[in-house]
Amino acid sequence: MKESQPSAIYLKDYTAPPFLIDKTELSFDLDESTTVVTSRLHMRRNPVFGASTVPLVLDGGPDVKLIGVAMDDYELPQEEYRVVDDQLIITATADSFVLTCETLIEPQNNTRLEGLYRSSSMFCTQCEAEGFRHITYYLDRPDVMSVFTTTIIADETRYPVMLSNGNEVERGKTDEGKTVVVWHDPFPKPAYLFALVAGDLAVKNDVFITQSQREVTLQIFTESHNIDKVDYAMEALKRSMRWDEETYGREYDLDIFMIVAVDDFNMGAMENKGLNIFNSSCLLASPETTTDDAYLRVEAIVAHEYFHNWSGNRVTCRDWFQLSLKEGFTVFRDQTFSADMHSATVKRVEDVSFLRTAQFAEDAGPMAHPVRPASFIEISNFYTLTVYEKGAEIVRMIHTLLGEEKFRAGSDLYFDRHDGQAVTCDDFVAAMQDASGVDLSQFKRWYSQAGTPKLSVTDAFDQALGKYCVTIKQDTPATPGQPTKLPLHIPVRIGLLDANGQSLSSSLDGATSEEHVLHLTDAEQSFEFTGLATRPVPSLLRGFSAPVKLDYNYSSQDLLLLMSSDSDGFNRWSAAQQLAVNELSQLITQAIKGETLAIESQLVHGFKALLADASLDPAMVALVLTLPNQAYLSEISTPIYPAEIKQARVYLKTLLAEALSADFERIYQQHRVTEEYQAVAEDIAHRSLKNVALSYWAEASSERAQQAVFEQFSTADNMTDQFAALSIAVHSQHNQAADMLAAFYEQWKTEPLVVNKWLMLSASQDNANALSIVKGLMAHPAFDLKNPNKVRSVLGGFGQNVAGFHKEDGSGYQFLADQIIVLNKRNPQIASRLCTPLTRWKKLKPELSAKMKSELERILAEDLSKDVYEVITKSLA
Ligand code: B3K
Ligand code: ZN
């Protein structure tokens, strides 16, 4: 452990920047050994401070070597500045001045992948949140917005493409024959949106005509062997641009929009102004190498980054505590976009399923934090599911409370009022409130209160009066640092069904309708519905109208009714999930007690009816047939018994497979798509149902099913079908699984993104040799510790591997801890992410819990990065 440990910073301590930077002129002399960065910062004291003499403090990084500093072209002698804890401090400054800094960096040795670094043969950047300080000294905070001009000097034979934000305004040569390119971005922006790329790249060009008839050049750059895989992303970009005009009235502002794909990237993509940089896994797509899911992800991420141009870039965050201002809103925007492009219900189910599995787990664990955190040690740790996904749910609830039209008036006001500013979540809510007249004062607690609220619902029916009364109690469990919670304003969308599944009209507070939105604002509140002849079955929380846990004592009959008849597609799925959860919970209890598993499954009847109804959307049927996964069942269990959860899932899946084997075979045959592959909703829907059916059919002891899996694997003309067959083979212990895995690698070893899928599937093989398989993968030539995608594939796959990761002797935990310790030094962001499975230790069954905890303690004894230190100390607290 280090002697002095990193400390937290607090939202309550926010003060405006003492200096502003009106103009930023940067020059990069790129070279394979040392890159020279010269900055000229046109600075002045921030007038909000009045007459002030505070020193100028600029942020830097440990690998930035300062060569010289000048103020208004006067070279400062050593005694007039100092560098302390990576900060450059200049005590005496004028009220306005030009500060020049010359610094040296070595991008080729930058393994953190923050700042300027090399990926394959190119230079690229990642500056959010605090990467810019690894390039040069700066006021690296989002409320300092500046107009950037960037000069790139490089050898054109090696780096024919040289890009930065804005428009290319000049091109020339140095005396030594190097090429000089100058870019100018007229829109003021914080340093986190700065980007630079230089490399030998191929380009695909296109054009978009905006609603005001301006022509925008669109360019996607990749290494030349990948340029045939960008057509889908380009079309997705144009759809996004059109959608933002039509839905939010937001038009693109520069004359050029560029996207670059890079292989080594810590996350998915980055919205740098006019120059988005993408992890190639989130941009490239071709039928042979990309699954349907990945196609949809490409579309969603292209849209997300594009939408940031308004929600994030034109209007940005005042400080990093406000991160959800741009991320929650932009996730909501990309979710709505995808819903409009495909099926809204399918999209909602997928998003909620993810939220309930992963965000709820975060909210119940040691890293739980409000959507607007009150403090952090390392901001990189707060790019979380809470900030992104729960943040999007908050915006969605505002949308529900205001309705479509007023919500749009609110977003218009927000963009107009704050264009060019760095603002807060409060400003966003104020715009929504001002434009709509809807009081959001209590609602704002959603931003500051962590934890997932639980709604306990009871009901009573008065036959004589035709009155149905629903009582809802809300309760949010304590989270670290927040022992007590206040009631939230929770919109609960509700419908009522009769015993035949018909939708019932009812009156609530004078309004008669088949659906109502209840405004739950108190700790306990009752709602009276009148005009009912018989006791209804409530369809609660339709569309998942709030990110809460719902507790209502549904009978299996109620759930079967909702599953087959509710007019709300989301709740049909949700009822099926609940029925499955109820049955799995019984089985898990039996497994924990060491009993023989046995159940009278109602789900069999529900599935039978579902499979017989040809009128349903196949994509929805596929989702309903998908049993709650290991992670979701773990989230709702206390304590977690990983092996027993797995045993219960396998038992129920096999039971359903055996009972409905003929139905699954029929569905498998019926939904085969024979036309040429297209990533369009209808075909995706058929493929998903066909492959879910195959996964069940393969669990039944059927020779024909085994044959079908092998055949699909060998003859598929697209990655969706080929990889589905391979995964089914691996997870159903197909007797040719090992040969198929080997053949798959041989077939695809020159396609890194496919190899990543192979690595992940191989690492998730759930058997007694799991750990040695994973060790083998890490020694395989296809593995590369420098590449975050490969690390995520192998260690992410292993984290889902029950037999391997949760091995009773603790060897799985020890192995992951070893990798974290290695990566902590090389790439702290990735190391910190890998800690997530270990943060769940308190919830595990006692024997495993103790073993996991001791690995956390072992990690803590190391010299840790801020990133890993924060996660480990909070987990052990
Ligand atoms: N804003 C970036 C995320 C940056 C993460 C930095 N550690 C991508 C996105 O959310 O659009
Ligand atoms: Zn984002």
Can you give the length of the chain in residues? 877
CB 163 within 8 A of CB 275: yes
Together in a domain, 444 and 527 = no
Residue 2 pLDDT: 53
* Distance in angstroms (rounded) separating the CA atoms of residues 720 and 737: 17
Give 168 Cα–ligand 1 centroid separation in angstroms.
25
594 exposed, middle or buried (CB, 10 Å; 0-12, 13-18, 19+)? exposed
Mean pLDDT score, 474-495: 98
Place of tokens 């390119």: 181
* Distance in angstroms (rounded) separating the CA atoms of residues 424 and 796: 34
Report the SS3 class of residue 554. coil
Residue 873 has pLDDT above 70, yes or no: yes
Give 305 Cα–ligand 1 centroid separation in angstroms.
9
Question: Is residue 499 one of the residues assigned to a domain?
Answer: yes
Question: Whose alpha carbon is nearest atom 10 of ligand 1?
Answer: 327
Q: What ligand 1 atom has the least distance to the C-alpha of 266? A: 7
pLDDT tens string 683-732: 999 999 999 999 999 999 899 999 999 999 999 999 999 999 999 999 99
Question: Is residue 101 one of the residues assigned to a domain?
Answer: yes
> Last residue of some domain: 257, 285, 307?
307
Q: What ligand 1 atom has the least distance to the C-alpha of 829? A: 7
Question: What average pLDDT does the chain have?
Answer: 98
Any long-range contacts for 605-608 (C-beta under 8 Å, 24+ apart)? Answer: 605/560, 606/559, 606/560, 606/563, 606/564, 606/576, 606/579, 607/656, 607/660, 607/663, 608/660, 608/663
Residue 3 pLDDT: 59
CATH number at residue 228: 2.60.40.1730
- Dihedrals phi, psi of 142, to nearest 5 degrees: -70, -15
Residue 1 has pLDDT above 60, yes or no: no
Question: In this structure, which ligand is nearest to the CA of 327?
Answer: 2
Mean pLDDT score, 452-468: 98
Together in a domain, 391 and 433 = yes
Domain of 486 in residue numbering reads as 454-565
Q: What ligand 1 atom has the least distance to the C-alpha of 379? A: 7
Mean pLDDT score, 536-541: 98
Residue 4 has pLDDT above 80, yes or no: no
Residue 432 pLDDT: 99
pLDDT tens string 170-184: 999 999 999 999 999
Report the SS3 class of residue 513. strand
Together in a domain, 444 and 458 = no
* Distance in angstroms (rounded) separating the CA atoms of residues 139 and 159: 30
pTM: 0.99
Place of tokens 């993968």: 777
Question: Is residue 4 one of the residues assigned to a domain?
Answer: no
Sign of CA dihedral 529, 532, 537, 542: negative
To test the pocket of ligand 1, the residue of 192, 240, 271, 326 to mutate (highest count of ligand atoms within 8 Å of its CB) is 271
pLDDT tens string 582-601: 999 999 999 999 999 999 99
Cα–Cα distances in angstroms (integers) from residue 124 to residues 116, 161, 188, in the given order: 6, 12, 21
Q: What ligand 1 atom has the least distance to the C-alpha of 129? A: 6
Q: What ligand 1 atom has the least distance to the C-alpha of 268? A: 8
Q: What ligand 1 atom has the least distance to the C-alpha of 388? A: 10
CATH number at residue 395: 1.10.390.10
How many domains are there within the chain?
3
Question: Is residue 739 one of the residues assigned to a domain?
Answer: no
> 642: cis peptide before it, omega within 30°?
no
Give 307 Cα–ligand 1 centroid separation in angstroms.
13
Together in a domain, 44 and 128 = yes
* Distance in angstroms (rounded) separating the CA atoms of residues 152 and 183: 8
| Other beta carbons less than 10 A from residue 600's beta carbon | 8
Residue 52 pLDDT: 87
Helices 703-715, 719-731: crossing angle, 10 deg rounding: 140
* Distance in angstroms (rounded) separating the CA atoms of residues 839 and 875: 5
Question: In this structure, which ligand is nearest to the CA of 282?
Answer: 1
Question: Whose alpha carbon is nearest atom 2 of ligand 1?
Answer: 270
Residue 611 has pLDDT above 70, yes or no: yes
Give 165 Cα–ligand 2 centroid separation in angstroms.
18
To test the pocket of ligand 1, the residue of 310, 383, 827 to mutate (highest count of ligand atoms within 8 Å of its CB) is 383
* Distance in angstroms (rounded) separating the CA atoms of residues 666 and 705: 11
Together in a domain, 461 and 422 = no
Residue 367 has pLDDT above 60, yes or no: yes
Question: Whose alpha carbon is nearest atom 8 of ligand 1?
Answer: 270
Sign of CA dihedral 430, 431, 432, 435: positive
Helices 556-565, 569-592: crossing angle, 10 deg rounding: 150
Question: In this structure, which ligand is nearest to the CA of 378?
Answer: 1
> Last residue of some domain: 549, 565, 581?
565
Residue 721 pLDDT: 98
Give 127 Cα–ligand 2 centroid separation in angstroms.
13
Together in a domain, 465 and 415 = no
Together in a domain, 245 and 389 = no
To test the pocket of ligand 1, the residue of 270, 389, 830 to mutate (highest count of ligand atoms within 8 Å of its CB) is 270
Mean pLDDT score, 838-857: 98
Question: Is residue 594 one of the residues assigned to a domain?
Answer: no
How many C-alpha atoms does 811 have within 13 Å on its Cβ side?
A: 11
Residue 316 has pLDDT above 60, yes or no: yes
Q: Which residues are paired to 35 by β-bridges?
A: 105
Which tokens in the block code for residue 771? 């750990």
Q: Which residues line ligand 1 (CB under 6 A)?
A: 128-129, 267, 269-271, 304-305, 308, 327, 380, 383
Question: Is residue 555 one of the residues assigned to a domain?
Answer: yes
How many C-alpha atoms does 229 have within 13 Å on its Cβ side?
A: 23
Question: In this structure, which ligand is nearest to the CA of 330?
Answer: 2
CATH number at residue 537: 2.60.40.1840
Report the SS3 class of residue 737. helix
Question: Is residue 700 one of the residues assigned to a domain?
Answer: no
Question: Whose alpha carbon is nearest atom 3 of ligand 1?
Answer: 270
In sequence order, what DSSP letters do the residues of 263-314 get, joined into one string? SS-SSSEE--TTEEEEEGGGT---TTT--HHHHHHHHHHHHHHHHTTTBTTT
Question: Which of 63, 61, 80, 62 lies closest to 72 in space, CA to CA?
Answer: 80
Together in a domain, 333 and 288 = no
Q: Is 299 labeled as catalytic in the residue annotation? A: no
Active-site residue among 128, 305, 327, 635?
Answer: 305
Question: Whose alpha carbon is nearest atom 6 of ligand 1?
Answer: 128
Give 312 Cα–ligand 1 centroid separation in angstroms.
11
To test the pocket of ligand 1, the residue of 114, 117, 127, 267 to mutate (highest count of ligand atoms within 8 Å of its CB) is 267
Together in a domain, 413 and 471 = no
> Last residue of some domain: 431, 448, 465?
448
Together in a domain, 43 and 165 = yes
Question: Whose alpha carbon is nearest atom 5 of ligand 1?
Answer: 128
Together in a domain, 392 and 463 = no
How big is the CA angle at 699 (ends 714 and 797), to the nearest 5 degrees?
70
Which tokens in the block code for residue 827? 């790439």
Together in a domain, 440 and 459 = no
Question: Is residue 416 one of the residues assigned to a domain?
Answer: yes
Residue 845 pLDDT: 98
Give 327 Cα–ligand 1 centroid separation in angstroms.
8
Residue 327 has pLDDT above 80, yes or no: yes
> Measured in Å, how far apart are the chain's first and last C-alpha atoms?
16
Residue 347 has pLDDT above 80, yes or no: yes
